[in-house]
A and B are shown apart, each in its own frame.
Chain A
Amino acid sequence: MTDDKIAVALRGITKRFPGVIANDSVDLELREGEIHTLLGENGAGKSTLMNVLTGIYRPDAGSISVFGRTVQLKTPKDAIDLGIGMVHQSFKLVPTHTVTENIVLGLGRGFSRVKLDEAQARVATLSKQYGVKVDPNALVWQLSIGEQQRVEILKILFRGAKILLLDEPTAVLTPQESEELFHTLRSMREQGHSIVFISHKLDEVMTISDRITVLRGGKNVGTVLVQDTNPQDLSHLMVGREIKFATFPKKESRGEQVLEVEGVDALNTRGLPALKGVTFSVAAGEILGLAGVAGNGQQELAQVITGLQRPTAGTVRVQGADMRGKRARHFIDAGVSYVPADRHGVATVGDMSLSHNSVLRRYREPKFGKGPLLNFNAAIGYARRLIKEFNISTPGHATPVRSLSGGNLQKVILAREMTTRHHLLVVMSATRGLDVGATEFVRKTLNDHRHQGGSIVLISEDLEELLSLSDRIAVIFHGEIMGIVDAETARIESLGLMMAGQRLSEVA
């Protein structure tokens, strides 16, 4: 502990939850002025370790020292006082307040108008100093997810954090936004901040990190310098075996049209037009990718084709049947599966068990009961199957899904929706938050599904994923389809231009 270059030293940290050891005597040293990546499969214990370091969880064993001093972190406030700040995956901002107000909120020092002006000036300085682009006067609801994340970063900088913990920040960012974030992180490093970064994307881990620590099953299995390693070694460390990266051959013949969308208009939650004259179709045995910057109508489109929202004009046909006036339940019965983007808020019930959640959209099927009765044993059997097939790490089927790790929760939703006998699968951000192994598995399953004649609408901001899986790619901008291109011949640059609002005719 004489080394004054160590910002944080975790020694022998153990954290147990009912049925799992999330952290198993983990040692970790974060040096001053380094970007240190935590890598590990879903459920390896990354978030837990960070929550221990921010005083949210109390470890069962182990010690923490910050800048050479052994400390007891009893509450998040203790961590903040020591200069430790964390950006969680879901943000805790008040949408109707401005950026500055959100930043000072909770500081609890009774900010008056005058002081608010001061704060605003400081926010502006900070945002210039670290290259965090955000308007201090903007209202939070007007901001994109990426911008909201910047507010969270500013918030912890404002509190004087010297140690920043970022839990999968790039999972919700576009590649450009990720680049900007890395720029900010590097500038923080230059100014002496120490950063823990969590990500499942090995290429970005290789570009941004100084050192990398791999967790497996709650244990630290190695810390390496970035120049001494490569993605293959890292995945080997993480999973303990090779991961094969497959390419996905497209299907030669396509069948009948499964989904036909014609001239669909829809409103967003604020009552403003979100979709304008959207027309496209998806055939059996086809994956249609939908590319676009988040917030350009993808959410509304997904809701319209799954029956959760009624279009204000136009028609939606599933397997030739007009779905006008039909509810979500009829879409489910017609064989439409849906993986929404919001896994906590929409796709699961946090306090219910994994087995209950696994039949969330299927409890009406004869397989899961008779008449008015639900057969919970059948649900448990089904949940067990999902846990095995999708390699979900959980103490058991009775665990409330609230306590699953981010990636494992995503697996539960994907497993449920993908194992349903469906005709059409609508997936938003399918592999968000999944580790490399799970990502490959999900991609392969989607591909298999296509080859068995299923149809998929794949909504994503990840162009590489879209290009590798889709047969065709539609680009959406401001609620309009800019064009639909063949994935084989599509060029990334023209897709990028279309995502920025140019029509296919202008690009080609």
Chain B
Amino acid sequence: MRLELRLERSRKLEYLVPVVSVLLSLVVCAVLLLSTGANPLAAYSAMLKEAFGTSYGITEVLVKATPLILCGLGVMLAFKMLFWNIGAEGQLHMGAWGATAVVMTGWDGSPWLMIPAMMLGGFAAGALWALIPAYLKVKLNTNEIITTLLLNYVAILWVAHFIYGPWKDPVSFGFPMTMQFPEGAQLLRLAGTRVHLGFVFALVIAVALYFIQEKSRWGFEIAVTGGNPNAAEYAGMNAGRNILLVMLISGGLAGLAGMVEVSGIQLKLLKDISPHAAPYGYTAIIIAWLARRNPWGVVLVSILMGGLYVGGETVQITMKLPVNIVLIIQALILFFVLGGDILSRYRLVFDRPGQRPKKAALSGG
């Protein structure tokens, strides 16, 4: 069995792959559930009903989707330029920290001033965090996959240092968290729900990115660089500057996701700003890949992923299934999408028995 480059690439496959991947991962996960004695159909329908069947469920889905959209858009932009930013999780933590830092100055003012200041703090902290690997890439050509990944751990520890140390709320009974934010530092919520203004920000930014990507000269530069870096150089584009700019936005958006989480949901800085089982920053990588470099795709996939989070929490409670089911389904989706992408670019060739080559060869057509 070998892989051969397809010379005719199909557009249909491009969109079919994500859909089929999601379905396949649900099937495989069903088998896993069966093996634990659970009824997968019941589990799935409970998840679906909980996530999209009640108005409460839907609002909770949007709550989860908000940071996912922001991180997903940032990751998508970097991927579009073939800069493999897998550091959204760290950038999100730094953003949460940066927003909290504004509050920790002791300032208690009008939300009209505090919220923009916190947004700026979150964006800037996330952006700076992302600029470190970008700068290293431009100056020293370091591998960004490694640097962005490692900086995630640093950022998480950085946040931990502050909530266990200087910013710890003295009346928290020893819990590692800051005090609750004053009202001026809290994002407006839709009455009776946890859906907050951050969701609107995320949608506005999706629109903005769409215009940058499709209508602007700079978007053209990013697309060319991602399509053929040599051609970008030939066209007089400044690759270094573009890497820095793209990562500034990419990290900034993840930082903003951190800001809206602390200011819209947690109302304080604490340890698990991103779900432990399936952290937002990593889920964003799957979202960006599934969304095919399309901002609307990111919004759509983020909402579906949000449903998976909400549904997963439900079956954990009602059916006593481990919440890790979310992580498993996500991992399976990523696995199938990546595999599907290889198959849409290469085709599988079965050699007739008797002359089977010993080594698998990845031969170009």
Contacts and interface: CB of A to CB of B under 8 A. Distances in A.
Interface of A: 17, 51, 56-57, 75-77, 92, 106-110, 307-308, 327-332, 338, 340, 342, 345-352, 356, 359-361, 363-364, 369, 372-374, 376
Contacts of A51: 7
Contacts of A374: 215-217, 219-220
Interface in B229-276: 230-231, 233-238
B328 interface: no
Nearest to A352: B227
Interface stretch (B37-45, B68-76, B357-365): B357-365
Contacts of B323: none
Contacts of A57: 7-8
B357 A108 contact: yes
A56 B7 contact: yes
B218 interface: yes
Given A374-B216, A374-B217, A350 B4 contact: no
A119 to B, nearest CB: 15
B217 A363 contact: yes
DSSP class of A's interface residues: helix, strand, loop or mixed? loop
A106 B361 contact: yes
Nearest to B365: A56
B359 A110 contact: yes
Contacts of A307: 236
A372 B364 contact: no
19 contacts: A56-B7, A57-B8, A75-B4, A76-B4, A76-B365, A92-B364, A307-B236, A327-B238, A328-B235, A328-B236, A329-B237, A338-B234, A346-B228, A346-B234, A352-B227, A360-B231, A364-B217, A372-B216, A374-B215
Contacts of B29: none
A360 B232 CA distance: 8
Given A77-B349, A348-B231, A376-B215, 6 more contacts: A17-B8, A328-B233, A331-B236, A360-B235, A372-B216, A373-B215
A376 B363 CA distance: 37
Given A108-B361, A350-B227, A373-B215, A356 B220 contact: yes
B365 A327 contact: no
Interface in B276-333: none
B227 A108 contact: no
A490 B299 CA distance: 67
Given A51-B7, A77-B351, A109-B357, A369 B227 contact: no
A332 B351 CA distance: 51
Interface residues of B, number: 33
A22 to B, nearest CB: 11
B231 A349 contact: yes
A375 to B, nearest CB: 9
Contact of B224 (A106, A330, A342, A349): A349
B223 interface: yes
A78 to B, nearest CB: 9
Interface of B: 2, 4, 7-8, 215-221, 223-224, 227-228, 230-231, 233-238, 349, 351, 357-361, 363-365
A351 to B, nearest CB: 5
B324 to A, nearest CB: 38
B173 to A, nearest CB: 52
Chain B CB within 10 Å — which of A108, A352, A373 has the most?
Answer: A108
A346 B235 CA distance: 9
Contacts of A359: 220
Chain A CB within 10 Å — which of B223, B235, B358 has the most?
Answer: B235
A75 to B, nearest CB: 5
Contacts of A75: 4, 349
A186 B7 CA distance: 32
Contacts of A308: 233-234
B218 A372 contact: yes
Chain A CB within 10 Å — which of B216, B223, B227, B236 has the most?
Answer: B236
Contact of A108 (B218, B223, B234, B358): B358
Nearest to B351: A77
A409 B234 CA distance: 16
Cβ-closest 4 pairs across A and B: A108-B357, A329-B236, A349-B227, A328-B236
A373 B365 contact: no
Given A57-B8, A110-B359, A373-B217, A329 B238 contact: yes
Contacts of A364: 217, 236
B236 to A, nearest CB: 3
Contacts of B8: 17, 57
Contacts of A330: 236
Contact of A361 (B234, B351, B359, B363): B234
Nearest to A75: B349
Contacts of B237: 329
Contacts of A361: 234-236
Contacts of B359: 108, 110
Nearest to B228: A349
Contacts of B218: 372
A372 B357 contact: no
Contact of A345 (B216, B219, B223, B230): B230
A92 B7 CA distance: 15
A360 B228 CA distance: 11
Nearest to B355: A81
Contact of B227 (A17, A77, A346, A351): A351
B253 to A, nearest CB: 19
Contacts of B351: 77
